[in-house]
Amino acid sequence: MDIDLMLRVYPYFLEAAWVTIQLSVLTIVLGLICGMIGAAGRLSRFAILRFLAAAYVSFFRGTPALIQIFLLYFGGPQVGIQLDAFEAGVIGLGVNIGAYMTETMRGAIISIDKGQIEASRTLGLSKFETFRKVTLPQALRLMIRPLGVNINAQIKGTALVAAISVVELTYTAQRYIGSTYKPFEMFLIAGILYLIIITASGKVISYLDRRVRLQ
């Protein structure tokens, strides 16, 4: 193993890891927003909203994320959407993970006992109040762990934007593999950095999960 080389190139990997962190945070925030809108749509009273949300989930979960990103980045200009690679990566990945998060959130909301909703309606709360004060707080607690699974997958999913030349960890590793012919060393540096990011985010999620459980 070429430790000297690893020590020489790791600063570039650190810079790239920062880009991976930015991509992760932005796509997860966008994903959570899409997930909330999607889940609201899936549970809506209106058939048209239910249909649109179901179509959103079905398309984005039924086709490869890579194809979705290519469609947005390379195909976008043909329909008047001009984005740079980073923007296309964030939007493509965020909307993609949003479809998975939609199902996670919907699953948590519908798993709340119907009796709770009936009871609070009987006590005179409106439908909206029931959702805000009874259903949602319980559902939020249930969804933290499965959303954590989505987030873990998404951090690794950010590697896809290497294919549209966003200079993040995987792209950097690929470039250095190509120029140094040391695939194991470069994989090891990038792999350790990914593991640090994923372990850190896992700790945050289990902290949040413990906090809401205590209440």
Query: Positive or negative, the Cα torsion across 197, 203, 205, 208?
Result: negative
CB 96 within 8 A of CB 58: no
Q: What six digits make up the tokens of 29?
A: 């925030």
Least Å distance, CB 209 to another protein, is 19
Between 64 and 137, name the residue whose CB sits nearer to another protein.
64
DSSP 159-186: GGGGGGT--SHHHHHHHHHHHH--HHHH
Secondary structure element (H or E) that encloses residue 42, with its range? helix 3-42
CA distance 157 to 45: 33
Residue 201 interacts with another protein (CB under 8 A)? no
Q: Whose Cβ is closer to another protein: residue 120's or residue 172's?
A: 172
Asked if 159 interacts with another protein (CB under 8 A), we say yes
Q: Which of 52, 125, 167, 177 binds another protein (CB under 8 A)?
A: 177
CA distance linking residue 30 with residue 93, whole number of Å: 9
In the shown chain, the binding pattern of residues 110 to 149 toward another protein, with x for contact by CB under 8 A and - for none, equals ----------------------------------------
Q: Is 199 in the site for another protein (CB under 8 A)?
A: yes
| Alpha-carbon gap, residue 20 to 25, rounded angstroms | 9
Identify the residue among 51, 74, 123, 179 touching another protein (CB under 8 A). 74
Interaction between residue 70 and another protein (CB under 8 A): yes
Residues found near another protein in the complex (CB under 8 A): 59, 62-68, 70-71, 74-79, 156-160, 162-163, 169-170, 173-174, 177-178, 181-184, 187, 190-191, 194-195, 198-199
